[in-house]
Structure 1
Amino acid sequence: MNKKLSKLDFNYFIGQKVTEVNTQKKHPFLMSFEWGGLTVECPWRLRVSNEVAIGYSDCLQAPGEYSHKNVRNILMGKRITNIFHYEEISDLVVEFEESIYLELFHDSNYFEGWQLRGDNGFYVFSLPGGSYSD
C-alpha cells in the first residue's frame, strides 16, 4: 500500500512544546501543547530513534510496568518538529525533537481514533472507518 500524505497544514503546531500528558488510569490518552492538544483513542506507539519505547499494548498488557507516565517522562518539554497525516487510513505521526515519534493507527470502523486541536480553531479528527474530518 502506498500511503499518501494529506495536504493539511500543520505549521501551527511546529515548535510547540508538550506541556502535559494525562497519567490518570482509565482515562483517555491526552496531551497538551502550548497552544493545542491531542486526544488518542486508538492504538499508538512512541518510538525513540528506531526503537519502540512504549506502546498501546504495553499499557494494556503490563499496566504495572507501563503507563502514560512513561510517555510523560519521554515527551514533557519536547518540541514538535513535524506532523505527518496519511489520508487513506487517517494515521497520524507527530515528530518531536531528538528523533522521537508518536505514531497513531486508526483501527476502528465504529469509533473515532484521535483528535488534534489548536487554540487557533484548527481541528481535525479521524472518523470511524479511517477517513478524517477538519
Structure 2
Amino acid sequence: MSRNESRDDESPSRLIDARIRELGDWRGEMLAHLRGLIRQAVPDIVEEWKWRGVPVWSRDGIICTGETYKAVVKLTFAKGASLDDPAKLFNASLEGKTRRAIDIREDETIDADAFQALIRAAAALNASSRPRKPRQ
C-alpha cells in the first residue's frame, strides 16, 4: 500500500502528523504552525492526504495544499487567483489564472490574522461555488 492510500490506522490527519515529525526541522515546525492556523480559521475543515504525500485542506472543495521543499514550505490555494489578498501574502504562482501560492522560507514569519482571513475567504468561495440543491 502506498503512503497515498490510507489504512484504517493511517487517517489523513495521522499521516500529516507523521510528515511533520519526519521533517524534524523548521519546515515541520512551520507546517504544524500553519496547520494550526488553518484549523482555527475553519474548525470543520477536512484534512486529506493526496498525490503521494501532500497534505490537503478542504471544505466544499480544496482550499489549499501544504508542500515542503528543501528551501520553502509552500501553501498553494486552489482558487487563489479569485481571492482578495490585501496583505499580499501570495508570493508564488502569481502568473496562473487559478492558483496562487505562499512560499515561506526559514526564519520568515506569516501574518496569522491575514493568513486566517485568506483561509476563511477560500472556504467561503468554495461554499458559494457549490451547486445548490433544488427545493422540494
- TM-score band w.r.t. shorter chain: under 0.3
Q: Specify which structure has the higher proportion of strand.
A: 1
Give TM-score scaled by structure 2 length: 0.26
Q: Specify which structure has the higher proportion of helix.
A: 2
Give TM-score scaled by structure 1 length: 0.26
**Structure with greater contact order relative to length (CA < 8 Å, sep ≥ 6):** 1
